Structure 1
Amino acid sequence: MVLKMEVLSVKRGDITYQLCKRLVRSLMDVFILDELRDRPLSGYDITLLIRENFNFLISPGSVYSVLYSLEREGLIRGFPRGRKRIYRLTSKGERALHTVLNMNRRILHLISRILPEEDSEDLNTKFAYETFKEDS
C-alpha cells in the first residue's frame, strides 16, 4: 500500500522531473507488487495508479513489460477477465515484497544516519508513519 504523496511540481523538461521519473520507473516492480498486495488489478489500473501517485504518465508498454517479467518470475499471476487481464500477487511475490520492504527499512535507517539531524528527524517521522500504515 503506497501512501498518496503530494503531487510533484516539477516541470517536464526539468532535470528533477527526469530524475524522479527514472526513480519511479526503476521501482515500478516494487510499486506493482505493493499495490497487488491490496487487491487484484489490471495493467490499465496500475497505469492509472502510477499517474495518481507520482504524477507521471508511464507508457502502458512499460507497465506491461514489468507485469510480464513479474509473471515469468512467479511473483504475480494473471487471469483473463473479459477483455482484460487481472493480476494477483502470489505467495512467492508476497515473500519477495516482504524482503524488499525490510531492505527499505535498512536503507532508510542508513540514510537517516547520513543526513543532517533535522532532515533525519523528518525522515524518521515519515518512516514511523509508513511503518504504522503497513502494520495497520
Structure 2
Amino acid sequence: MADEKEEEGKARKTKALTRLIKNITVRTLWIYVLAVLKDNPTYPYQVKKSIREKFSFNPPTVTLYTVMYRLEREGLIRKNEHGAYEVTGLGLEALKEAAQLLAEVSHKLTDMTSEGPR
C-alpha cells in the first residue's frame, strides 16, 4: 500500500515541474550564492553547505564554482583579504532586484491560481 502511494507521488511530478525545479535552483544558483554570502563572507565549500541547509537542494560542485567565478568576474562578489568571498554593493543590488522579481511573479501566480475558473 505504501509503495502505491509513493508511486502516485512520483507520477504527479510532471516533466514540466521537474524543469521548473531545475530552473529555480540550479539555473538561478547565483541568487542563492548572493543570499548566502550577504550575511557571512565564506568559501565555496561552505556556500554549498549553506545552500543545502537553507534552501534544501545540493548544487553541483562544478556548477557552483563556475557561478562564483562568473559572479566575481561581473563584480557581484569579491575575495576579501582572507580569501573568503563576499557580496559587493552591486551584488546586493542584484540580489534585491532578483528577490523582488521572484516575489512579484509568485504573488501574481498565487493570485491567478486562487481565483478559480473564469
Flag whether TM exceeds 0.5 (same fold). yes
Q: 8 Å contact 1:39–1:88 — kept in the other structure?
A: yes
1:105 to 103, 113, 118: 103
Structure 1 runs (4+) deviating above 4 angstroms are 14-18
Helix, strand or coil at the partner of 1:109: helix
How far apart, CA to CA, are the structure 2 residues paired with 1:74 and 1:47? Answer: 20
**1:17-68: CA deviation from partner (whole Å, max 9, x where unpaired):** 9543443101210011111111112100111122223444333211110000
The runs of 5 or more residues in structure 1 that have no matched partner are: 1-9, 119-136
Give TM-score scaled by structure 2 length.
0.72
* Equivalent position of 2:64 in the other structure: 63
Helix, strand or coil at the partner of 1:58: coil
**Identity score, percent:** 29
The 1:105–1:54 alpha-carbon spacing in structure 2 relative to 1, beyond 3 Å, is: closer
The runs of 5 or more residues in structure 2 that have no matched partner are: 1-8
1:90 to 88, 91, 94: 88
Q: How many residues align?
A: 104
How far apart, CA to CA, are the structure 1 residues paired with 2:14 and 2:55? Answer: 16
How far apart, CA to CA, are the structure 1 residues paired with 2:61 and 2:78? Answer: 18
* Equivalent position of 1:121 in the other structure: none
Helix, strand or coil at the partner of 1:41: coil
Helix, strand or coil at the partner of 1:77: strand
Q: Which structure: greater strand fraction?
A: 1
Alpha-carbon RMSD across the aligned residues, in angstroms, is 2.6
Quick check: which has more Rg, 1 or 2? 2
Q: Which structure: greater helix fraction?
A: 2
